[in-house]
């Protein structure tokens, strides 16, 4: 049976009185949709299969749903003995967060809540279990360990909750979950909460739940109402600079930047620290104490930027996270939604930005379409836009300052006696800017890219002439004419249709091929590809390095066919013209010059 919750209730009707007192003390006035759904009369005492987004208040929801089963009409819990309920979460951070929520929610009822998570003192956990508790919250691996050692007695369990079940399966905990559930009493209630219900979750529900009530609180027609999505077009070599400008432009209290690999996280973290950002990194190589310190720095405000991989960020709930940046495009729709769901929680507004290299626009458009997201496309914030924002923020901060005390006014008057008001204001601006990382100057697509989007194309003669102007002076000191044999031609699968420009093509060539600017000769950009020269002494090393391009890199470099990319040589009888290296409209290689008939 499926139900869709209608308008939220105006009070927590149907919940236990002691829990109502706890909610009132915490300032809860109306339930969220998932909390209202589990309090319906037809949900009482039943197994539940619930779809709920992260940050929707589901911890309080299953706390409310369990009350009637655990307290069974009593006002307070009796003396703690064997656990009555078990909550299983995918990560240590989420489990400890759930424990904190249940402690205040069940506090007036006298509940004792224990935790069993990896990275904590297992002997202390064993003592807490031996002393008795009413609820246990833990991660699958640690709970199984306590079960196998006989420290956790589940014979009296009345309910089991699987929180973020889809993430637990993604992390490979299926065997642990089945072991734990098989050990619990068959008459228990089973509440399964998951952001999505894929086939594996449905199979788990059929095996371990009885006549479960299906509750879906995710509005598929408007799943992203609290998140503003932006897709930012950038040159492939300017991802790092774009991240800097986005962080400076929005200046939110908390931001999370997602990368694919540990190496990418480590590199971006170092770059942001070098520029003066208060940033921490989360990846699989961190020890548990290092991870704990990083998360605590984010929660208490000592750091405002977190760079993380998808796996390392699972189960993390950070307060006031106003910005999510996809430095690397997500691999699929679900990853996009999970990443983006870190912001825009519990009614707060958030911004999600996808950095889209020119070479990956189609991929990004496909992801957004699959997720049903309508994103605003545009360029990254420029340095001038960031400086305007800084001026506005400084003005707001000055307006918010209270009236000065007498000694403040005396010092101000002394400064005015020695300096003009303009000099003092300029010094204030310098001090303000000195605390902020400098914005980056980013490549801006020229008017030709805009013309292409409107369907207009320049004439072939103008295009060929512009090729010569763009490559002239940007050839990195390569020899021409008689010395053309000292270089080797290569081909890159990026052209004008990808906003190719020597200003960002040259750094990409150097990065992927492990060469320097002086090793790069002529760069000729065509509609669908780019031909360029590499010095002969560096060609073999360049080819070997370019062949090791990462799999997630859309740019591919390969040796050009013999003669491909070369301009006609003098003395071959052909007429040299500005369009000699111009390709056909279909992107074919430049045609060979025709010889004059004798």
CATH topology of domain 457-559: Alpha-Beta Plaits (3.30.70)
pLDDT higher than 50, residue 211? yes
pTM for the model stands at 0.59
pLDDT band at 578 (very low <50, low <70, confident <90, very high): very low
Share of residues in the chain with pLDDT > 90 (%)? 34
What is the spatial distance between Cα 352 and Cα 529, in angstroms, rounded to a whole number? 32
Strands laid side by side in the 350-357 sheet: 279-282, 305-308, 254-258, 321-326, 350-357, 227-234, 376-378
Residues 6+ apart with CB under 8 A from 44: 14, 68
Q: What pLDDT was estimated at residue 345? A: 67
Convert the pLDDT of each residue in 267-299 to its tens digit.
Answer: 999 999 988 899 999 887 787 788 888 888 887
Region 237-246: what's the mean pLDDT?
92
The single residue listed with the structure tokens 């009822």 is 109
Distances in Å between the Cα of 265 and the Cα atoms of 8, 291, 395, 483 are 41, 14, 35, 43
Highest average pLDDT, of 75-84, 334-343, 441-450, comes from 75-84
pLDDT higher than 80, residue 344? no
CATH code of domain 2-216: 3.40.50.300
Distances in Å between the Cα of 460 and the Cα atoms of 455, 456, 523, 584 are 15, 12, 18, 9
Q: What pLDDT was estimated at residue 399? A: 72
Region 178-207: what's the mean pLDDT?
90
345-364 burial, b at 16+ Cβ within 10 Å, e below that, comes to: beeeebbbbbbbbbbbbeeb
Region 398-422: what's the mean pLDDT?
77
pLDDT higher than 70, residue 490? yes
Q: Which CATH class is domain 227-381?
A: alpha beta
Residue 94 — φ and ψ, nearest 5°?
-65, -40
Specify which residues 2 forms β-bridges with.
214
Residues 6+ apart with CB under 8 A from 77: 70, 71, 106, 109, 110, 111, 112, 134
Q: What pLDDT was estimated at residue 474? A: 41
Categorise residue 497: left if φ over 0, alpha if ψ from -120 to 50, beta otherwise. alpha
pLDDT higher than 90, residue 426? no
Residue 298 CB neighbours (<10 A): 25
Q: Picking from 192-196, 469-473, 529-533, which range would have the lowest pLDDT averaged per residue?
A: 469-473
pLDDT higher than 50, residue 575? no
pLDDT higher than 60, residue 219? no
Q: What is the 3-state secondary structure (H, E, C) of 351-389?
A: EEEEEEEHHHHHHHHHHHHHHCCCCEEECCCCHHHHHHH
Residue of 413 and 383 predicted with greater confidence: 383
Specify the domain boundaries for CATH 3.40.50.300 within the chain: 2-216, 227-381
Residue of 278 and 465 predicted with greater confidence: 278
Region 457-484: what's the mean pLDDT?
42
Kindly report the average pLDDT of the chain as a whole number.
80
pLDDT band at 564 (very low <50, low <70, confident <90, very high): low
What is the spatial distance between Cα 92 and Cα 33, in angstroms, rounded to a whole number? 27
Residues 6+ apart with CB under 8 A from 294: 280, 281, 282, 286, 303, 306
Convert the pLDDT of each residue in 220-236 to its tens digit.
Answer: 444 455 789 999 999 98
pLDDT band at 581 (very low <50, low <70, confident <90, very high): very low
Convert the pLDDT of each residue in 53-72 to its tens digit.
Answer: 766 788 999 999 999 899 98
Q: Which two tokens stand for residue 312?
A: 């390392």
pLDDT band at 182 (very low <50, low <70, confident <90, very high): very high
3-state helix, strand, coil in the chain (%, to 5): 40, 15, 40
Q: What pLDDT was estimated at residue 568? A: 43
Region 370-396: what's the mean pLDDT?
88
pLDDT higher than 60, residue 5? no
Region 106-122: what's the mean pLDDT?
90
Region 13-35: what's the mean pLDDT?
84
Q: What pLDDT was estimated at residue 162? A: 95
């Amino acid at each position: 049976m499926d139900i869709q919750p209608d308008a939220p209730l105006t009070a927590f009707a149907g919940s236990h009185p002691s829990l109502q007192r706890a909610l009132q003390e915490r300032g809860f006035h109306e339930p969220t949709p998932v909390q209202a759904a589990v309090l319906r009369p037809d949900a009482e005492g039943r197994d539940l299969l619930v779809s709920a987004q992260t940050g929707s208040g589901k911890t309080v929801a299953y706390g409310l749903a369990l009350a009637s089963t655990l307290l069974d009409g009593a006002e307070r819990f009796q003396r703690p003995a064997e656990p009555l309920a078990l909550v299983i979460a995918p990560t240590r951070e989420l489990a400890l967060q759930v424990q904190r929520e249940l402690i205040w929610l069940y506090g007036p009822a006298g509940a004792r809540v224990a935790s069993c998570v990896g990275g904590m003192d297992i002997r202390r956990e064993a003592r807490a279990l031996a002393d008795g508790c009413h609820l246990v919250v833990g991660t699958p691996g640690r709970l199984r360990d306590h079960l196998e050692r006989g420290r956790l007695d589940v014979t009296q369990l009345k309910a089991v909750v699987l929180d973020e079940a889809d993430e637990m399966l993604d992390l490979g905990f299926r065997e642990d979950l089945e072991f734990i559930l098989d050990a619990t009493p068959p008459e228990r209630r089973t509440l399964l909460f998951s952001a999505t219900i894929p086939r594996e979750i449905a199979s788990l529900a059929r095996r371990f739940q009885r006549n479960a009530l299906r509750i879906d609180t995710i509005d598929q027609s408007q799943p992203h109402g609290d998140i503003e999505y932006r897709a930012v077009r950038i040159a492939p070599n300017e991802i790092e600079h774009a991240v800097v400008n986005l962080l400076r432009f929005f200046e939110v209290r908390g931001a999370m930047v997602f990368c694919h690999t540990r190496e990418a996280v480590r590199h971006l973290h170092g770059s942001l620290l070098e520029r003066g950002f208060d940033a921490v990194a989360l990846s699989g190589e961190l020890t548990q104490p290092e991870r704990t310190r990083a998360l605590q720095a984010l929660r208490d405000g000592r750091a405002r930027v977190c760079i993380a991989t998808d796996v390392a960020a699972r189960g993390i709930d950070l307060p006031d996270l106003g910005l999510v940046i996809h430095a690397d495009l997500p691999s699929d729709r679900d990853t996009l939604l999970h990443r983006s769901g870190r912001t825009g929680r519990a009614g707060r507004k958030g911004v999600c930005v996808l950095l889209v290299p020119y070479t990956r626009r189609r991929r990004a458009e496909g992801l957004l379409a699959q997720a049903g997201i309508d994103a605003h496309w545009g360029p990254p914030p420029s340095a001038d836009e960031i400086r305007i924002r800084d001026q506005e923020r400084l003005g707001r901060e000055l307006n918010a300052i209270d009236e000065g005390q007498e000694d403040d006014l005396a010092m101000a008057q002394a400064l005015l006696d020695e300096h003009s008001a303009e000099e003092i204001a300029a010094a204030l601006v310098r001090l303000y800017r000195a605390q902020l990382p400098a914005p980056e100057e980013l490549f801006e697509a020229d008017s030709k890219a805009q013309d292409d989007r409107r369907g207009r194309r320049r004439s072939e003669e103008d295009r060929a002439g512009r090729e010569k102007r763009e490559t002239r002076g940007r050839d990195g000191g390569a020899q021409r004419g008689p010395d053309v044999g000292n270089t080797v031609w290569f081909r890159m699968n990026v052209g004008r249709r990808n906003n190719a420009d020597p200003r960002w093509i040259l750094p990409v060539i150097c990065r992927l091929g492990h060469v320097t600017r002086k090793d790069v000769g002529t760069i000729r950009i065509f509609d669908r590809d780019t031909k360029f020269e590499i010095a002969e002494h560096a060609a073999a090393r360049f080819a070997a390095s370019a062949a090791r391009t990462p799999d997630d890199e859309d740019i591919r470099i390969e040796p050009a066919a013999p003669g491909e990319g070369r301009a006609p040589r003098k003395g071959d009888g052909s007429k040299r013209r500005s369009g000699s290296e111009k390709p056909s409209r279909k992107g074919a290689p430049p045609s060979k010059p025709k010889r004059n008939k004798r």
